Amino acid sequence: DFFMHFLDASEEELMKPMEEISVGRVQHFLSMSIQLTENQRDGEIEHSVALSQQDDSQLVPRMLKCRFSSESLVAYLDSLYGGIANQEARTPSRQPYGCATRDTGFDLFALDFALVPFPTSLVLSRHSM
């Protein structure tokens, strides 16, 4: 749910070319989306149950950071496996593979976990990412 709130709030900012994006503003949208979602979830839980159990699955805004990659996923895969030259466009942005375009925030956006909780950390470590 928080990701849908985030995409709605940050759509205008992420559609800009990378040079014009305010990373602080995008991080603010991400933090606010997490807080809104958690507040909605807390409102749905009965207070007596919430007081008797402590929920460790709560997503804390400082756990997630936004960052922007130096190249898009399509460009990265092209560099690994080679682009398809002189064929019709097959990417979601309707650009041929390997075509040089200005990357937007949507192309370069990534989520960075500051702390991955156990047992997820066994699979998703910084080294494996």
Tens-place pLDDT, residues 57-113: 555 666 788 889 888 887 777 777 766 554 555 555 545 555 556 788 988 998 887
Whether the CB-CB separation of 6 and 29 falls below 8 Å is answered with yes
Residue 126: predicted pLDDT? 65
With a threshold of 0.85, does the pTM exceed it?
no
Q: What is the mean pLDDT of the chain?
A: 75
pLDDT tier for residue 11 given thresholds of 50, 70 and 90: very high
The proportion of the chain whose per-residue pLDDT surpasses 70, expressed as a percent, equals 64
Cα gap 9→75, rounded to integer Å:
27
pLDDT at residue 93, as a whole number: 52
Q: What is the pLDDT of residue 94?
A: 46
| Residue (of 103, 121, 83) closest to 20 by Cα position | 103
| Highest mean pLDDT pick, 4-8, 53-57, 68-72 | 4-8
Give the per-residue pLDDT at 120. Answer: 73
Tell me the H-state helices in the chain: 2-14, 23-44, 47-52, 73-81, 105-108
